[in-house]
């Protein structure tokens, strides 16, 4: 798919079809994450990819709005170093945001929907994924073919208008 179409077709998908994601396609999505730029190229991230149904169902309980994880074909847990330094944490988060969007656009290119989720039960996530204490599960990105309509470029989206969000030369 052309990049501009993938950007316009990407949307949050919370109900997924049963269709699995082919291993090569899943790797293409993870490769996009790996290639993402990061602050000082620190790459302070790890990606735990889960595809087994019982594990996905368990993982969906880490946040009350993460139920879409349970029907996903795969969910990627975005992991960052545990830190109490506020600046460091903010930079990790910014970098994870970049990796998230790389994955989402790589997925949209393949007709695969996505949705991110926060989590509020860190200890459950860590236990389910086997993530060590010196790492923290920051976000989940669920992936799968939509149960409803296919991904296609959208004209109308629920966003602030361009003239509101963009300031020319000065605020």
Show contacts with a copy of itself in window 49-108 (CB under 8 A). 49-52, 55, 79, 86, 89-91, 93-102, 104-106, 108
Tokens 């993530």 correspond to what residue? 131
Measured CA to CA, the distance from residue 157 to residue 161 in angstroms comes to 10
The span of 2-10, 14-22, 142-150 binding a copy of itself (CB under 8 A) equals: 2-10
Residues numbered 20 to 39 that lie near a copy of itself (CB under 8 A) are 27-28, 30-37, 39
Q: How far is the CB of 109 from a copy of itself (least distance, A)?
A: 4
Q: Tell me which of 123, 133, 149, 167 binds a copy of itself, using CB under 8 A.
A: 167
**Number of C-beta neighbours around residue 5 at 10 A:** 14
Bridge-based pairing state of the strands 74-81 and 113-117: unpaired
Q: Tell me which of 73, 129, 143, 151 binds a copy of itself, using CB under 8 A.
A: 129
CB closer to a copy of itself, 97 vs 146: 97
The span of 5-13, 14-22, 144-152 binding a copy of itself (CB under 8 A) equals: 5-13
Q: How far is the CB of 53 from a copy of itself (least distance, A)?
A: 12
Long-range contacts at 128-133 (CB < 8 A, ≥ 24 apart): 128/55, 128/58, 128/59, 128/62, 129/48, 129/50, 129/59, 129/77, 129/79, 131/48, 131/77, 131/79, 133/82
């Amino acid at each position: 798919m052309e990049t501009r179409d993938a950007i316009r077709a990407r949307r949050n998908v919370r109900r997924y079809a049963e269709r699995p994601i082919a291993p090569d396609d899943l790797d293409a999505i993870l490769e996009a994450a790996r290639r993402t730029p990061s602050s000082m190229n620190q790459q302070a991230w790890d990606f735990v990819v889960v595809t087994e149904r019982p594990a996905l169902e368990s993982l969906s309980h880490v946040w009350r709005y993460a139920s879409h994880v349970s029907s996903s074909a795969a969910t990627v847990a975005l992991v960052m170093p545990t830190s109490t330094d506020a600046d460091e944490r903010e930079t990790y988060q910014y970098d994870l945001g970049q990796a998230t969007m790389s994955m989402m656009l790589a997925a949209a290119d393949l007709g695969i929907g996505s949705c991110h989720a926060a989590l509020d039960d860190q200890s459950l996530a860590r236990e389910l994924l086997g993530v060590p204490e010196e790492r923290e599960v920051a976000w989940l990105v669920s992936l799968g073919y939509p149960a409803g309509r296919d991904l296609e470029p959208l004209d109308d989206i629920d966003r602030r208008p361009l003239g509101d969000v963009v300031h020319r030369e000065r605020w």
